[in-house]
Amino acid sequence: NAGVTQTPKFQVLKTGQSMTLQCAQDMNHEYMSWYRQDPGMGLRLIHYSVGAGITDQGEVPNGYNVSRSTTEDFPLRLLSAAPSQTSVYFCASRSSPSSGNTIYFGEGSWLTVV
Amino acid sequence: AQSVAQPEDQVNVAEGNPLTVKCTYSVSGNPYLFWYVQYPNRGLQFLLKYITGDNLVKGSYGFEAEFNKSQTSFHLKKPSALVSDSALYFCAVRDIGNSGGGADGLTFGKGTHLIIQP
Q: How far is B51 from chain A (nearest CA, A)?
A: 7
Half-sphere exposure of B50 (CA within 13 A, CB side): 25
In this predicted model, what pLDDT tens digit does every residue of A57-82 receive, in sequence order?
988 999 999 999 999 999 999 999 99
In this predicted model, what pLDDT tens digit does every residue of B58-81 receive, in sequence order?
999 999 999 999 999 999 999 999
**Residues A99, A73: Cα–Cα separation, whole Å:** 22
> What is the DSSP code (8-state) at residue B17?
S
pLDDT of A112 above 90: yes
In this predicted model, what pLDDT tens digit does every residue of B7-21 receive, in sequence order?
999 999 999 999 999
**Residues A6, A75: Cα–Cα separation, whole Å:** 9
- Option in A31, A42, A49 nearest B110 (CB): A42
**Residues A58, B107: Cα–Cα separation, whole Å:** 12
For the stretch A50-74, what's the b/e string if a residue is b when 16 or more beta carbons lie within 10 angstroms of its beta carbon?
A: bebeebeebebbeebebbbeebbeb
What's the Rg (C-alpha) of chain B?
14
Is the Cβ–Cβ distance between A104 and A82 less than 8 Å? no
Report the run of H or E that residue A22 belongs to, with start and end. strand A19-25
Q: Which residues of B touch A103 (CB under 8 A)?
A: 34, 46, 92, 104, 106
- Report CA-CA distances (Å) from A24 to A13, A105, B5, B39, B44: 22, 11, 31, 22, 16
The pLDDT assigned to B53 comes to 86
